[in-house]
Amino acid sequence: MILIMVIIGAIFFSENQSKKQQIISQVINAKRNTITRKQVISGNIFPVKEIEVKSVIPGVLETYYVRTGGNVRKGDKIAKIKTVFEPSQIENAKMNLRTAEIAFEKDRINYERDKSLFEKKIIAASEYEISEKTYLTSKEQHEYAKNQLHLLTEGFIPMSDISNVVIATANGTIIDLPLEEGAMVAERSMFRDGTNVALIAQLDSFLFKGKVVETDALVLRNGTILTVMPTSMNGLKIDATIRKISPKGNFEQGIMKYNIEAIFSLPDSVHIFSGFNATAEFILDERRDVLTLPESCLVFDNDSAFVNLLEHDKFEKKHIVTGISDGINIEVVSGITENDKVKK
């Protein structure tokens, strides 16, 4: 009988210890930690400066002197434009030049004669000034007619910026050559934008461009730091500073969204191309040294939060007050302490 009682007691003790071990493996203590609530924005990365290079004369793209990805300096040749004019335009230019030459020669002779007479005090100063003004006007008209014909026949005007060779207007990298050889090119003028021949970017600084909803727009400010992460470059994180938050929203798919821009620089060892997809994080709220629990420990009922608290080897449902959450852990404002054991 004593042996049987010992065996039964041992079995009971073993089962009790096993039950306790099982309960202990199911519980967790609340811990003090830092809870950070972040928001993620989707967007794209672009160079801060993208410069469109355009021609000052119309025509057909004859050839490119550069390649996409190549570096250029201000004044370097980008492309050559073949001028296309009707024969009648050239003939009209030739006729205008002959007419201007005749008028110029006539006014030159009159001017030199009147100048000599004025120096001898034979004619009045007012008469000499009229002759000089006519001569200078005629000279300008002759020069203009000569330049127009030179532009039509040779493709450029001597001693001027007007040429059929398109040059770089800034230092940078060629990121796009949008035309094929033989494509028509419209000139840049006061009345039209002209055809874009090349796109130059300065790849030392970039912009993250994204869109945020109303609640995020209220939180963000110029100068707020974002953590930009290019989608295709795992592990790369770059701090960017917001420089623009659009005060005017755009209605997209039933939601009002606001454009933001954040500027950042890259180390020389990192290369990013214009248009890269990226995400950006910013901190909405942060609580340091607060009591936290994994969200998986909580039970929600009618907008209230509860935990299963271990008391006297039994789990009892206990109401708690929660704060912010980072999606994994949640802040516990009141209801339990660090010594309480909560069911996982």
Residue 269 has pLDDT above 60, yes or no: yes
Mean pLDDT score of the chain, rounded to an integer?
83
Query: Do 66 and 170 fall into the same domain?
Result: yes
Please tell me the predicted confidence (pLDDT) of residue 256: 92
Q: How many domains does the chain have?
A: 3
Query: Do 145 and 268 fall into the same domain?
Result: no
pLDDT in tens, 4-49: 776 676 666 555 555 555 555 678 888 888 888 888 899 999 998 8
Query: Do 145 and 100 fall into the same domain?
Result: yes
Residue 242 has pLDDT above 90, yes or no: yes
CB 267 within 8 Å of CB 26: no
Residue 205 has pLDDT above 70, yes or no: yes
Query: Do 214 and 144 fall into the same domain?
Result: no
Nearest to 55 by CA among 149, 178, 150, 201: 178
Please tell me the predicted confidence (pLDDT) of residue 274: 84
CATH number at residue 76: 2.40.50.100
Query: Do 188 and 217 fall into the same domain?
Result: no
Top-confidence range, 107-111, 137-141, 225-229: 225-229
CB 204 within 8 Å of CB 264: no
Q: Which domain holds residue 177?
A: 53-80+166-201
Position 4 in a domain: no
Position 326 in a domain: no
Position 327 in a domain: no
Query: Do 145 and 212 fall into the same domain?
Result: no
313-317: average pLDDT = 81
Q: Are strands 250-252 and 225-230 parallel, antiparallel or unpaired?
A: unpaired
194-202: average pLDDT = 89
* Overall pTM > 0.85: no
Residue 341 has pLDDT above 60, yes or no: yes
Sheet containing 59-64: give its strands across.
165-167, 77-82, 59-64, 184-185
Nearest to 61 by CA among 183, 167, 151, 153: 183
pLDDT in tens, 45-90: 999 888 899 888 788 888 999 998 888 999 898 998 887 666 676 6
CB 200 within 8 Å of CB 79: no
Position 333 in a domain: no
Burial of 259 from C-beta contacts in 10 A (0-12 / 13-18 / 19+): middle
CB 262 within 8 Å of CB 211: no
| Cα–Cα dist 107/340, whole Å | 108
Position 324 in a domain: no
- Domain boundary (123, 154, 185) is at 154
Position 3 in a domain: no
Query: Do 73 and 92 fall into the same domain?
Result: no
Position 23 in a domain: no
Position 229 in a domain: yes
pLDDT band at 261 (very low <50, low <70, confident <90, very high): very high
Residue 121 has pLDDT above 60, yes or no: yes
Burial of 22 from C-beta contacts in 10 A (0-12 / 13-18 / 19+): exposed
Query: Do 98 and 230 fall into the same domain?
Result: no
